[in-house]
Structures are given as C-alpha cells and as structure tokens.
A and B are shown apart, each in its own frame.
Chain A
C-alpha cells in the first residue's frame, strides 16, 4: 500500500466534482482525502486527490481520470518535490481544569484562537497533515466538541506547474 497525491485540473463546470467522485465510487478507489479549489484561471478547478493503494490501482485511477472529458490535466505529485498543507478547525470544551493545558499545546503548535466563549474554544492550525494529526491526538486528552479539516492541497516546488500539458 502506497500513498499517492494526484493533482487534477478540470473544467470548472457544473457537476464536475460529481463526475470525478462518481467514477471513484463505482470503481471502488479508496480515496483518503479530496479537495476542490479555484485556480488562477476561472475556467479551471483543481482537485487534489489523496489515494492509498497499490501501484496498479493508482495507474488505473489516473487512466480512468484521463477518460473524463472534463479532465484537462493530471499530475502525480511526489512527496519529495511537493509542498502540502491543510487546515484544521477544532472546537474544544472550555473547562477551567484543562484550559491552560489546551492553551499550552495550542501555543506550541502555533494554533490561532478564532473564537473563545465561556463553554468552548475554537482554534485553527494549518500545515502538513501529519502535524494536524499530532495536534488532534494531543487534544484527545481533553474534550473535543467538533473537528473539521479541509483535506490536503499540494503544489510542486519550484516553477513547475501542472498546466503545461493542459488540454481544454
């Protein structure tokens, strides 16, 4: 089992996310995370797929993506050459007993406090998924009320872009 990050440029059209995820579902690809975002061009959206599987499955996933007419470009990102980040929002119970421990951890992880009320603290951190996993694990010692994370987005290092082989 390997982990793959695949960046896909798609035509920014109604229902395109559905086309991509519907294909993943019916062919039973095990998708770990998926993000969709706007790009530098209003005609294109970027889908970042985090996928766990054998190399043959990854190959099939890429080959099947190529068949979707809305897909313009596919690029497999290798971990060495890629910067990745995601964002976490986490809501903790604001209990006087645990408050200071939570704040200490938050400080260590450079979490920003977005909301602070008598009963709850909402914090935000960004960074590599691993760092976010670690922070969540720390928080499990206290009472987590809610978690929401965006899924990872990735870009290659340097001036390389995935648009060079874009077909529209």
Chain B
C-alpha cells in the first residue's frame, strides 16, 4: 500500500511490536505526530516535559522490559536534548531507538532554522545511526535499527528523518518483527582452556554484570556456582540479576561495594567475569586489582576482553550459550577453606555495619525494602542515595534495579521511573536525592498527567552529597558549591504539579508515609530529611586498592 513516510514510521514501529513512544513534537517531526494522531489506538505516545525526560523514559522502559525503548524528538534542540539520554543508554548497553525529524533534504547543510547534524553529534554515543536520504530506505532502516539495538551487545540506535521524507509517499508492506542476530557460544578451544583454568583454581570467584541480564544466563550462573563452590558478586549493573538473598551472593563489588565481596574478589585466584567490562569504579588501581587472580572473561563484545584488565582467558560469545558448554567441563568441588575465608569476610562486614538508630540512610532503605514487592521496579538517580539503595535493597527478580551506571547521569531518575512503570505496569519506586530531583522534576508533570503510580522517595540532605563526601575526604572540607541552601518545598512542589506528597522526619513517619504512598494510584512524593554528613561506606578511594579501603570515617 502507498503511505507517507510519516505513516511508514508509525506503521513500522507498530509492526515491530512497539507499544509506546516517549517524545516531544516540533516543526520538523510534525508529520510523524500527525500519523500518531491517525494511529493513536495502536501506538501510545507519552508526551514528556522535556526531550531528555523522554529519552530517559524510553531507557527505563527498555531496562525494565528488555525491549527497545522508542523516543521521538524534533530537529535541532529537540534532538540535542536527547543526547544525555542516548549516552546514558549507550554506556549501559540499553536497546533504544531514537527517531528525530530534520529539515528537508534540500536544506540540509545550510544551517537552516533548527537544523543540527544529530547523526554527527551522536556518532560516538550510538551503536549506529542513520540519516534517511530516500523514502525507499525508511521502513527497512527502522527494521534494521530494531535488529541492531537488541543484537549482540545491545545499544541505542538513532534515525534522523528529514521532513520531505516524512511527506513523500512510498509503497509499504508490513513485515514480521525482526529477530535478533543469532547468538553464538565462544570457541570450543577457548571454553576448554577456561575450564582447565577454573578446575585448577582453589579460590574461584564469580563476578557478573549487566551482560548476565541481557543474555538471561541466571540459571547457568547459579548452577556453575554450585558446581565449583564459588561465591558470587556483581557490578552495580548486575544488581537484580540473581536474587539478593541467595546464600552465595555477596552483593555488589566496586568503589562502594560490599566489603566481603570486594575482599573475596581481591583474594580470589580465579575470577570468572561474566558480561562485565571492568570499569575503573570496579577495579580502582588496576595494577593492584585482584593481584593473584587469573581472569576468565566471557563477553559477547570481544573488545571488552582485553580492554582495561587483560583476561587470562578471553571468551567472546553469548554468555548463556557459552556457560552451557562450559558447565559440563567443570569438576564438582567443595572448597571448605575458601568458604571459611569468605565467611570471615562476611563476619568482618557485619562488624562494620551501621547500626545507629533513627533516620539514617541505611534505616531508610531498610524501611523501603519492607514495602517492596517481588516485582517492584526500583529506579534511582545518581549519587549517595543510589549507592545506599544499591547496597541495602534486596531484589528478587531481574530488571528490577534501574540505575544509570556507566554515565552516572544525574536527572535520570524521574524519566526512567516513568518508563519503567509503563513497561512493567508495577507500582514503581524512585529513590532520588534533592540535587538530582532538581534536574528532572519537570517530569512530575508527566507522571501526573499519565497517572504513574510511583513512590518518589527524595533523600533530602540539602547538599550534593557525593561530591561533598569527596570534598570531606580529599579536599580538606572545602565545600565548594555543594551546599544547595535552597528553599524549595518539595511537598508543595508536588502539590503544585497535581501530585500528593508529605515530608517525614523520623523512621516511623517514613514507614507510615510509604504505606500511604503505595496506596496512591499516582505519583506520591516523600520528602525524607537526612543528615548532610552521612557517608557512603565502604569506599575505595579513586585509584586506590583494597589496602586503602575506608570502612569508617572519624570526626
């Protein structure tokens, strides 16, 4: 059938299984919005307050569902406002399709009104991007974008569509949704070498990241842990990959990771790294990182295997398929000495626990934890609250901890929470600091208009806590520009947006407020006052090693 380019965009999205698009209209994408009007019964569009919020919402949707999130924006500022959202998705390997309008082909390159080279700008932050020069390429390009976004290591893809392409007409035939590229296991010889290495190890440690979630290799990981009697840790991106309560699970590793987990990794003689990329926040000083360990690294992206930490055995392949071939080669073993050592680390960790009463960050997180359902998505922003949530909340299902890892994007939270809620249909929680909330609070308007059931827990300490923590520890308490000293009343702000909210000042008050918040069918803000002098601990100082770990801060 003959359709306009704009109709082809919408029809192809529907054909590919897209149910919801987040976005913001404008002059150069107005034709696509006209098609959205036509197909509004088949494709839902969520109007956000800002394109950045739309990009984070698409990202949150993708993180919570595993399906690509789709975002629309107009040319120029609309497109550039997506940039932080696309980069956030890129750094965390999240599948996303960003579609931008642009000026007519004939005007491209002339610096027309709201013209910007968005394919140039997003080149280093997309898996791939496209500029549509002819309408005949349009439908197939969108299909290819879907395939690319979810194949191998997932990531964002951008398609820039000039206005004349949206207006032109072309034949369109619906096609079935694309299937991701076939997955493949690592080479047999590599798997055999890795098995030999693991079988020789005395203190193996299993370490997984976000790749475990993309590959859905949870069962294989747990089976391997049983077989070789190894403790398990994860990067922040791996959180929720396996149930937090699993007896072998030591929690998150890294700069603010669990002590026992970091110690076990440090003392391991074989680290089996699954779908991770050994970011500097994980390794600290690379020269002193896990000094005695051989590293078996499995990742679908071969460029990660020798990038920052050089693997002893690098296995390029799909995690699940590779583990399935690796498992039968591994000897069933018990390792009482190693387990005793790990238990000792856990006892030491328990001794460091912050057991103060009152509204401490840990107690606030524990109070929240009691309200979480099995399927509740917990979204965070970036900063101290993010680490407190990552350290203290428990997750039972994959894709239920949603947080900006690689890019560390403040202002990610509210948009992502909206997307995660829409993707799952679950009452969602957003844990956010007062600084980050200030960066995305405009999306309160979206949460209200879309009636998003989301509990917004603002850990309000009146400062930019994470930077302040560094200033305390490493900059002689020079609190340069981290004391907010704002007079914002978050409860009245929520009310001004049409949402409900309340402020809490103690732990019982927080618990009661959460009861009311979860009963509300819409956004509900809890302004939770905490002390500005709280620290995220333990802490491996940047560039430090386990010898430098800070577990307690004196006055």
Contacts and interface: CB of A to CB of B under 8 A. Distances in A.
Contacts of B148: 69
Given A14-B133, A69-B128, A63 B123 contact: no
A64 B302 CA distance: 8
Contacts of A18: 120, 123
Contacts of A14: 131, 133
A68 B307 CA distance: 17
B123 A66 contact: no
Nearest to B155: A67
B291 to A, nearest CB: 19
Given A18-B123, A22-B123, A56-B310, A64 B303 contact: yes
Interface in A61-75: 63-64, 66-70
A55 to B, nearest CB: 10
Contacts of B128: 68-70
A164 interface: no
Given A18-B120, A22-B124, A67-B153, 12 more contacts: A15-B131, A18-B123, A22-B123, A26-B124, A60-B307, A63-B306, A63-B307, A66-B302, A67-B303, A69-B127, A69-B128, A69-B148
Given A22-B124, A26-B124, A69-B128, A56 B306 contact: yes
Given A14-B131, A14-B133, A56-B310, A66 B303 contact: yes
Interface of A: 14-15, 18-19, 22-23, 26, 56, 59-60, 63-64, 66-70
B364 to A, nearest CB: 40
A19 B306 contact: no
The 6 closest A-B pairs by CB, nearest first: A63-B303, A69-B128, A63-B302, A26-B124, A22-B123, A64-B303
Interface in B258-311: 301-303, 305-307, 310
Given A14-B133, A15-B119, A69-B148, A59 B306 contact: yes
Chain A interface SS verdict (over half): helix
Given A14-B133, A69-B148, A60 B124 contact: no
Contacts of A66: 302-303
Interface in B124-165: 124, 127-128, 131, 133, 148, 153
A63 B131 CA distance: 25
A115 B123 CA distance: 42
A60 B127 contact: no
Nearest to A64: B303
A5 B365 CA distance: 55
A137 to B, nearest CB: 38
Interface in B199-256: none
Contacts of B303: 60, 63-64, 66-67
15 contacts: A14-B131, A14-B133, A15-B131, A18-B120, A23-B124, A56-B306, A56-B310, A60-B303, A60-B306, A63-B305, A63-B306, A63-B307, A67-B153, A67-B301, A69-B128
Interface of B: 119-120, 123-124, 127-128, 131, 133, 148, 153, 301-303, 305-307, 310
Contacts of A67: 127, 153, 301, 303
Contacts of B302: 63, 66
Nearest to B119: A15
Nearest to B153: A67
A66 B305 CA distance: 14
B555 to A, nearest CB: 44
A59 B303 CA distance: 8
Nearest to A23: B124
Contacts of A64: 303
Contacts of B119: 15
A66 B316 CA distance: 12
Contacts of A60: 303, 306-307
A162 B302 CA distance: 21
A45 B520 CA distance: 59
B131 to A, nearest CB: 7
Contacts of A22: 123-124
A57 to B, nearest CB: 10
Contacts of B131: 14-15
A67 B316 CA distance: 13
Contacts of B310: 56
Nearest to B305: A63
A70 B131 CA distance: 14
Contacts of B301: 67
A28 to B, nearest CB: 12
B160 to A, nearest CB: 11
A56 B128 CA distance: 25
A68 B148 CA distance: 11
Contacts of A69: 127-128, 148
Contacts of A70: 128
A46 B301 CA distance: 24
Nearest to B301: A67
Contacts of B127: 67, 69
Contacts of A19: 123
Contacts of A68: 128
B56 to A, nearest CB: 23
A15 B128 CA distance: 12
Contacts of B124: 22-23, 26
Nearest to A67: B303
B287 to A, nearest CB: 15
Nearest to A56: B306
A23 B306 CA distance: 17
A68 B133 CA distance: 20
Nearest to B303: A63
Nearest to A19: B123
A48 B124 CA distance: 22
Most interface-central of A14, A23, A63 (chain B CB within 10 A): A63
| Residue from B131, B301, B302 having most chain A Cβ neighbours under 10 A | B302
Of B120, B124, B128, B303, most buried by chain A (CB within 10 Å of CB) is B303
B317 to A, nearest CB: 14
B120 to A, nearest CB: 8
